[in-house]
Amino acid sequence: QPLFEAEFSEILLCKNELHETLNNLSHWMKDEHVHKNLVTRLDSAFIRKDPYGVVLIIAPWNYPIHLLLVPLIGAIAAGNCVVIKPSEITKNSETLVAEVLPGYLDNDCFAVVTAGVQETTRLLENKFDYIFFTGTSCSPSVGRIVMTAAAKHLTPVTLELGGKNPCYVSDTCDVQNVARRVAWGRFFNAGQTCIAPDYVLCSAAMQENLLPALHKAITDFYGPNPRESPDFGRIMGDKQFQRVQALLRSGRVVIGGQTDAEERYIAPTVLVDLQPSDPIMQEEIFGPILPIVIVANVDEAIDFINSRERPLVVYAFSSDDKVVNQVLERTSSGGFCGNDTLMHVTLTSLPFGGIGNSGLGKYHGKFTFDTFTHHRGCLHRNMGLEALNALRYPPYSQQKLGIIRVASEVKRKDACTLL
């Protein structure tokens, strides 16, 4: 991973989360007192933030530190013990985590488990009180396996999965800015980002303008030969390289397309002349390839998006607010970002997560703390004033009911339930 990208995603964003948590933890932990109804007016009613117990965090290989630390921060903040399973594919990060974490954290409460696929399957047979799983491409199927294992113990889960994030570019926009923002999001970490724009939807006319703009952006970013740029990443592992390389066969290469198996290098590539049925349009790309699919207008783009599984994020670019809002309102996705890519995850006040095949649950900032917290409804009543309870006790009578009905009708506006 290029240094800047690593610094940005793995370190800066994690520090942000730590600061946010440290600044606010005592407030988040406090009992949350709630509005009371007539009957409970004299009682103490609050939501207690309890830890779940022992939670399992499974991290993926694409941002091996960030996607391990950010959930870990919330799990610790919420008072849980944590079993941490870093990805076995990024060997260096895995070793680093296994060696470094025990030096800083309590060894009984927080354990690192290094495990491949088989051992992870065995790990999942144990009972946990919460499982937090982040997958990479092809993750919906692994997500199902994790949730099925969790079901055996009635363990709640958060699944951060993936999908094909569509990127609609309308005809009215500043093409060069769009090209830069889309290229940045697509080629960051050599495309191995769950929220990367997976494919572009635009009109044939816009494609004409977008291609040279994309070419310029790529050259500005990585120079004429991206292979020599220290800022462009590589594909993680031979298996992934072969998978992504095979996707190049769809459509026609107009920018890039060069590969080198030894370095696991795939050039920043743009493809055109694609059919919705092409292989590259069937799976999350998770590589530095940007296919462009032609649609006649925004309605066709929206229909296209809605005919597919709900993605982690929908992107829409337009200088016309109305167009951006239309795409937002008529589609469904984990999150939405208008006129940029990736940036919605830098705001810790926005919940991050998927919907449908792209996942369930959400985190970042306080949402991570809430994810790992059992919100326990508590009512602490008075032993006195027993006379008021008489209304609820048998023997029941029309009279008692009458009083109850009247009392609750008066309070209907305040939405109170009186018993």
Q: Residue 17 or 94: which CB sits closer to another protein?
A: 17
The least CB distance from residue 39 to another protein, in Å, is: 7
The least CB distance from residue 185 to another protein, in Å, is: 10
Residues with Cβ within 8 Å of residue 134, at least 6 apart in sequence = 58, 59, 60, 67, 71, 160, 194
Q: Residue 129 or 198: which CB sits closer to another protein?
A: 129
The least CB distance from residue 71 to another protein, in Å, is: 17
Give the Å distances, CA to CA, from 10 to 14, 24, 68, 398, 406. Answer: 6, 22, 10, 67, 60
Residues with Cβ within 8 Å of residue 71, at least 6 apart in sequence = 57, 59, 132, 134, 158, 363, 368, 371, 372
**What is the C-alpha to C-alpha distance for residues 193 and 342, in angstroms, rounded to an integer?**
9
The count of residues in the chain is 419
Q: Residue 122 or 413: which CB sits closer to another protein?
A: 413
**What is the C-alpha to C-alpha distance for residues 238 and 228, in angstroms, rounded to an integer?**
20
Give the Å distances, CA to CA, from 145 to 141, 148, 164, 344. Answer: 7, 5, 21, 29
**What is the C-alpha to C-alpha distance for residues 270 and 208, in angstroms, rounded to an integer?**
13
Q: Residue 223 or 257: which CB sits closer to another protein?
A: 223
Residues with Cβ within 8 Å of residue 407, at least 6 apart in sequence = 38, 418
Q: Residue 234 or 362: which CB sits closer to another protein?
A: 362
148: left (phi over 0), alpha (psi -120 to 50) or beta: alpha
The least CB distance from residue 18 to another protein, in Å, is: 10
Catalytic one among 160, 167, 173, 202? 160
Q: Residue 297 or 382: which CB sits closer to another protein?
A: 382
The least CB distance from residue 417 to another protein, in Å, is: 4
Q: Residue 86 or 361: which CB sits closer to another protein?
A: 361
309 is catalytic: no
Q: Residue 76 or 178: which CB sits closer to another protein?
A: 178
Catalytic one among 14, 167, 173, 194? 194
The least CB distance from residue 109 to another protein, in Å, is: 17
Longest pairwise C-alpha distance within the chain: 88
The least CB distance from residue 261 to another protein, in Å, is: 24
The least CB distance from residue 202 to another protein, in Å, is: 15
7 is catalytic: no
Q: List active site positions.
A: 160, 194
